[in-house]
Chains A and B, each alone.
Chain A
Amino acid sequence: MNQPILALFLLLAPAAVFGADSQWVLGPSALSYHVSHPLHESVGVSREARGKGVCRAGQCDFLIAVPVKSFDSKDSNRDLHMLQVTRGGQFPMVTVRVLLLESDLASATIHCDLEIQFAGQTAHYKQVPFQREAHGNDIRITGTIPATLADFKIDPPSLLAVPVKNDVPVKVEMTWRPM
């Protein structure tokens, strides 16, 4: 075997065996929670999420984090109340960790296992479907996380002695870019 072929083989072999590393960074995003009460509906939106994904050996590990106080429901009093009931002073970040196969990134619908840390609690959500659209190099991901207040041991706030509903779905709109 001559030397150039040997050098090429040594260069390509690890990538062929373990798969090439790739990294993703979160671009523009909007995360919104929806709270329902018989008298009132409210939506809090945060556009301050940051995220990074690392794919290695065919396995991808994504981390998304957002400050709890960055959620804006257009009412600072309600936002501060939300910050208090979700123990945001002590646990100021929401983090979402996603593990998935790199091959799944090419699917139109990606089913993800999520680990969410919020309000000092960790909740796991299995096989949550997200829609994927490719826009050039960017990948746009949309979906809804079926979160509940009970998942994070949060006492439902009340309006006129009637508590809000336990279901607090979180709508996700994210754009991921390769690094």
Chain B
Amino acid sequence: MAEDLTLRGKKTGCRIEDNTKAGRYGMFRNPLGDWLGSVRGAITVLMFAILSPFLMAQTAGTGALAGKVTDAAGAPVANAMVTVVNADSGRTQTAATGLDGTYRFSPLPPGNYRVKFEATGFQALEIASTTVPAAGAATVDGKLESEQKSGEPSLKDLGFTPDQTAGSAAAQARLDKRSHMLKIHQRLGLITLAPLAATLILSNGAASRNGTASGREIHAAVGGVTAGMYLTTASFAIFAPKIPGTPTRGPIRLHKALAWIHGPGMILTPILGALAYQQRSNGEKVHGLAGAHGAVGAITGIAYGAAMLSVVIKF
């Protein structure tokens, strides 16, 4: 029954359709019991499959062979291929070194072995003979020489330091994150242009002689959306990872300089706008600092547009 289910059951999403005779004709059965039986059987087979080499090896011997593969400077070589060949039987086994350069064959029948180390960028190294004892482990370390031919110029010959020539995944991840955040900054910046333009247009219905209370409210609401989107846009540039040792050159200098105008402007404009709104709501004429709301808003909008233009011709 369990085998039938395993072989004939058709998996559809999370449900298994029972195509066995019992299932089709509604005979009593316990699906959970069948499933457990099936799992139990599978585990038994799996355990036997996993343990059988060890059981066989136990009969042959309990020796082991281990070691570490390094380069000429002593640094571990990961993913090096280690091959051991039994001198008597000719049986060959292979293993790859881990990140720390170590490898281990265990258990290994005692006897004499030939050991070969191979890794990309290195000359192959072969140890003609080593003895694996019946009990305990033999240690064979491999020191690999660079594949570079004798006399062939190398980066070291050119005077580059390891810091200059060795890259890192972390450095690349920082660059990737920076690019990703700046792409979002660019896209959000473009999108923010729409509410910014709308706010400027709607200011006519809020501040002109024909301005109404509802016009002021709509202007204030759209202005608030603009300020919110602007701050979100700016945060992606401000918090993008900085890459050390890269001085700012070219159009981005103007782009950054203009941020010192539209940045404070985008904070000041809503504050002045709120003051103006309050004065108008009280039936007063806009006066004092609030009178600068329109001018500050216009300068902010112009600086923002100029900042966009300063970087638009680039990739």
Listed in ascending order, the chain A residues whose CB lies under 8 Å from chain B are: 35, 37, 39-40, 42, 50-54, 56, 61-63, 65, 67, 69, 72-81, 83-85, 87-93, 95, 157-159, 164
Given A77-B311, A89-B168: A84 in contact with B175 (beta carbons within 8 A): yes
Given A52-B157, A54-B152, A72-B249, answer yes or no on A90-B315 (Cβ-Cβ < 8 Å).
no
Q: Is the CB of B248 within 8 A of A76?
A: yes
Asked if residues A63 and B248 are in contact (CB atoms below 8 Å), the reply is: no
Would A92 and B315 be within 8 Å (CB), given that A76-B249, A84-B175 are in contact? Answer: no
Give the number of chain B interface residues (Cβ < 8 Å).
Answer: 38
Complex CA gap A164/B245 in Å reads: 27
In the complex formed, the residue of A with least CB distance to B179 is A84
Q: How far is the CB of B183 from chain A (nearest CB, A)?
A: 10
Nearest to B253 among chain A residues (CB) is A76
Residues of A within 8 A of B175 (CB): 80, 83-84, 88-89
B90 within 8 A of A: no
- Binary contact readout B159-179 vs A (1 if CB under 8 angstroms, 0 otherwise): 110001111111111111011
Instruction: Classify the secondary structure of B's interface with A.
Output: loop
Closest residue to B312 on the A side, CB-wise? A160
Pair A51/B167 contact, Cβ less than 8 Å:
no
Q: Can you list 28 contacts pairing A with B, beta carbon distance less than 8 Å?
A: A40-B315, A50-B159, A50-B160, A51-B158, A52-B153, A52-B157, A61-B151, A63-B158, A65-B155, A65-B160, A67-B160, A73-B250, A75-B252, A76-B249, A77-B182, A77-B251, A78-B315, A79-B246, A80-B243, A84-B172, A87-B172, A89-B171, A89-B173, A91-B167, A92-B165, A92-B166, A158-B315, A164-B315
**Which residues of A have CB within 8 Å of B249?**
72, 74-76, 79
Asked whether, in the complex, the Cβ of B160 is within 8 Å of the Cβ of A75, the reply is no
Which chain A positions have C-beta within 8 A of B179?
A: 80-81, 84-85
B181 to chain A, nearest CB (A): 11
B210 within 8 A of A: no
- Least Cβ–Cβ distance between A97 and chain B, in angstroms: 9
Q: How many A-B residue pairs lie within 8 Å, measured between CB atoms? A: 115
Q: Tell me the smallest distance from the CB of B85 to a CB of chain A, in Å.
A: 32
Specify which chain B residues have a CB less than 8 angstroms from the CB of A75 in the assembled complex: 249-252, 314
Is B154 close to A, CB under 8 A?
yes
In the bound complex, what is the Cα–Cα distance between A176 and B249 (angstroms)? Answer: 31
Complex alpha-carbon distance, A83 and B179, angstroms = 10
Q: How far is the CA of A84 from the CA of B175 in the complex (A)?
A: 5
Are A90 and B168 closer than 8 Å at their CB atoms? yes
CA distance A158 to B249 in the complex (A): 21
